């Protein structure tokens, strides 16, 4: 199952990339599980992202969602640092 | 109407366009947000500000906020315009223009929209200063301001 992950602002700088297409690991169901999986396995920026968990919001297909939200084929998952518009 | 753009905007032009929608409009309230330089006490100078957003999601969120305002108050029209890209001190960043038959609805809806925009619309500001560049932190006061609407009737 392919999914697209987006990073904005400080997170884009952290990952040195604005997006990545990945194949969802089979046993991973929710966005929270996805983040934990990469933090455990990939470390690096993923570990740093998971440390910032309390300040980060996640959007799936342009809507902010709960971390328990299940991932579906083709989802666009965006990690959003604190919003500062206006 | 929602617009995300790099260019400057004319509040006069947008107000005239909204008023042209009809003689039923008795009140127009507008809010303009500007790039602010630091207080003297902060001991640094703003060189410029870079504003980025999440194309697609930003428009969706702002349209949703606009819809909420329409369902809450008797409004005739709403325009939200937000700039992105590189801005300098004193540049206008955002405008919210609300037209209604009566002023109270226009005042309340204008404030509601900017309060929600501040905490829900995916924009990010990076400040370049003479003592370094950094991403602006969110303010607890903005969140409180937004949450205060949940307690309103």
**ipTM of this predicted structure:** 0.94
Q: How far is A2 from chain B (nearest CA, A)?
A: 20
Q: What is the domain partition of chain A in residue ranges?
A: 2-80
Cross-chain Cβ contact B118/A10 below 8 Å: no
| Contact residues of B toward A, CB < 8 A | 33, 51-54, 56-57, 60-61, 82, 93-94, 114, 117-126, 135-138
Sketch the domain layout of chain B as residue ranges. 2-151
**Per-position pLDDT tens, chain B of length 153:** 999 999 999 999 999 999 999 999 999 999 999 999 887 778 889 999 999 999 999 999 999 999 999 999 999 999 999 999 999 999 999 999 999 999 999 999 999 999 999 999 999 999 999 989 999 988 889 989 999 998 765
Cα dist from B8 to A36, B84, B124, whole Å: 42, 10, 18
Nearest-10 Cα torsion for B106, B107, B109, B111: 150
**Is 0.90 topped by the overall pTM?**
yes
Q: How far apart are CA B75 and CA B119, in angstroms?
A: 23
Fold type of domain B2-151: Aldehyde Oxidoreductase; domain 3 (3.90.1170)
Test A8 with B122 for CB contact under 8 angstroms. Answer: yes
Q: What are phi and psi of B97, to 5 degrees?
A: -120, 125
Q: Please tell me the CATH code under which domain A2-80 is placed.
A: 3.10.20.30
């Amino acid at each position: 199952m392919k999914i697209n992950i987006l990073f904005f602002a400080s997170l884009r700088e952290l990952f040195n990339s604005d997006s990545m297409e990945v194949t969802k690991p089979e046993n991973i169901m929710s966005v929270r599980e996805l983040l934990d999986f990469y933090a455990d396995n990939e470390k690096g920026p993923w570990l740093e992202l998971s440390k910032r968990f309390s300040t980060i919001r996640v959007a799936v297909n342009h809507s902010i969602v709960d971390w328990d939200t299940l991932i579906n084929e083709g989802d666009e998952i965006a990690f959003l640092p604190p919003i500062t518009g206006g | 109407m929602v617009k995300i753009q790099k260019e400057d905007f004319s509040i006069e032009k947008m107000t005239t366009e909204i008023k042209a929608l009809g003689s039923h409009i008795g009140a127009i309230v507008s809010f303009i947000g500007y790039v602010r330089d630091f207080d003297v006490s902060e001991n640094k100078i703003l060189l410029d500000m870079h504003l980025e957003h999440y194309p697609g999601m930003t428009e969706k969120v702002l349209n949703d906020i606009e819809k909420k305002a329409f369902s809450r108050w008797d409004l005739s029209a709403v325009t939200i315009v937000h700039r992105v890209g590189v801005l300098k001190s004193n540049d206008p960043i955002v405008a919210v223009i609300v037209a209604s038959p009566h002023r109270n609805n226009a005042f309340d809806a204008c404030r509601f929209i900017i309060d929600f925009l501040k905490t829900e619309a995916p924009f990010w500001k990076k400040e370049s200063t003479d003592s370094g560049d950094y991403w602006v932190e969110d303010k607890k006061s903005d969140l409180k301001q937004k949450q205060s609407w949940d307690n309103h009737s």
